[in-house]
A and B are shown apart, each in its own frame.
Chain A
């Protein structure tokens, strides 16, 4: 937690610098006859000094945290090679992990090769050096920044524009976090997926009909043909999403229509929030409900009709997911339906159309783009939904379109492949990232497309 201490220290210094800078500007202003005779308000001088004191060293801290591990690891690896321990590209990470564990004392040092122990000591030493040099560098930077900006305080110094310029850059950085996040997602899934596709050809993955990642645990079977065919997962995902949409679209749409066009103000003011309660329930609760209540109920119901319904049926998971999505569709549809101008309704009603004729022939066609966009967003949500399917859908990849059967989905497999202790570089874990890539690409396309449609629709009636 050394980094946190440094962080707090620097922030404290910054605060201190602020008061010093402000005090100095006041001192400068006094002989001139008050603060109206200096360019900016005293607090801007303070802020200017504080920014110069804290920002550069904080930037350094950030860069240091990214690069010091890389540097230390490469030095340690060199020493290992020099010590006669053979490495290869795949083993590097494992080896370094082991060294790190030795250094932290997680693994006992007894019985390890001397080169390993030496490397562990080297790592410890390097970490200490890195920490102290970081602290020293940051303090120096802070002091330099402080001294320089302190010396610039004068009655003509334009502190406010400078501070505001820096603030704007800071705000811009915050806004760019969204871009960094997207970039981070793309890089993390893409990088690992490329590694995965090196051992499993991409067309085997996308078009393969057999999914059994467990067989690949044995070394000699890495990338063996057919075991990473993701088609059953795609089919399972689509099946469950289809069941969910089958429940959510009619119910969500009809309730939106009823609430927007028929319900009195009082009914609307109670029913709408009541429906939205469904949207606020955590997915893990739906998962529990699906697995422990709905699935057994459907199984017993099926049995009473002589049907064999799996206790992990796609119907249960999809049905409950549909219930979860109802408020999503109904509130989106409600938005677009109420956005249809009242003059459309008046026009149709004045022709002698009944309300339902108005809804069917005028309002729905007018709101259609918005509704379609909303449904696409809902589909994207169903595809990416995780907890319900992890808890209520099956694990076995079965290629079937029968909703009474048990299927597995992309998200279920990502979770099963990545939970538990795994070696990070095994094809099994990498496969999860490849599935993640698929999921990301598909949902991204759905989202962009849907948001575009909805945006265009909104502009039409704004």
Chain B
């Protein structure tokens, strides 16, 4: 613990065989957490499950149209943090969020804010593809329908086609739009879920390990897709694969035991990490 308390990166600790993976209570995030024109800003975020604290005092910005990757060993709280960005944690009864999470300057946890509106603006893609047991068409049309975005059938058709095209799924499914979405392959299902998310034109898309249940080829497709999507959307992606983070993201945030250790441009994180824990992680000394 004492080795880490030093604010500067302690390269001396590298040679220390018995590396200490504990984090100090007053750990400060190193690197470039804050940006000039942020889309979302998080300040001193703490998340608790009952009395157990899962996230400690995290402050970070996400800027418009950037892809930010969140990495870290399993159980480090990166998924919990992601889920608090569109208040999906509300569905967990014991979960409590403290601190300030804002989008365009508006506090997401303000009492009068409607989560329905929030989630329409901040979409989410989950770890395991979860298409509804409905047709492909109905899966994509679900969001526009419940939000009343399409006035006519033609509008709806257009939204569905556009979303499927953006998710590069259109060519594969245009002949069988009315077959069940659960009949697709895993990778197609995940792209369907992405299409479903972008059908309501969210401003931010959260992705919670979107490729962890997929094979390498499907993963490559999704990664390609993320790159395309980043032109229009702000994307926050949690991944357990460092290579993936390196491939798709502009900035990378490293989480460790519920604390945000380091945020830096992806290239820097993977070539010369500022913090020794980050370095230990990306060089595979634990994981």
Contacts and interface: CB of A to CB of B under 8 A. Distances in A.
A366 B119 CA distance: 22
A341 B133 CA distance: 11
A351 B133 contact: no
Contacts of A215: none
Nearest to A362: B132
A352 B193 CA distance: 14
A21 to B, nearest CB: 60
- Secondary structure class of chain B's binding surface, majority of residues: helix
A223 to B, nearest CB: 55
Contacts of A365: 132-134
Contacts, number: 69
A25 to B, nearest CB: 59
Interface residues of A, number: 20
A357 to B, nearest CB: 5
Contact of A352 (B91, B93, B119): B119
Interface in B222-275: none
Interface string B145-189: 011000000000000000000000000000000000000000000
Interface string B128-142: 101111100000001
B93 A350 contact: no
B123 A350 contact: yes
A351 B130 contact: no
Contacts of B121: 352
A352 B130 contact: no
Interface in A341-381: 341, 343-354, 357, 361-362, 365-366
A265 B93 contact: yes
A264 interface: yes
Interface residues of B, number: 28
A365 B196 CA distance: 18
A357 B146 contact: yes
B117 interface: yes
Given A351-B120, A352-B147, A354-B116, A346 B196 contact: no
B142 A341 contact: no
Contacts of B146: 351-354, 357, 361
A347 B117 CA distance: 15
Contacts of B130: 341, 343-344, 346-347
Contact of A351 (B91, B93, B134, B196): B196
Contacts of B119: 349-352
A351 B119 CA distance: 6
Contacts of A345: 91
B33 interface: no
Nearest to A354: B116
Nearest to B94: A265
Contacts of B132: 344, 347-348, 362, 365-366
B126 A352 contact: no
15 contacts: A265-B93, A346-B124, A346-B130, A347-B126, A348-B132, A350-B88, A350-B197, A351-B119, A351-B123, A351-B143, A351-B197, A352-B117, A352-B147, A361-B142, A366-B132
Given A343-B130, A347-B126, A351-B146, 11 more contacts: A344-B130, A346-B124, A347-B132, A347-B193, A350-B86, A351-B142, A351-B197, A352-B115, A352-B116, A352-B120, A353-B146
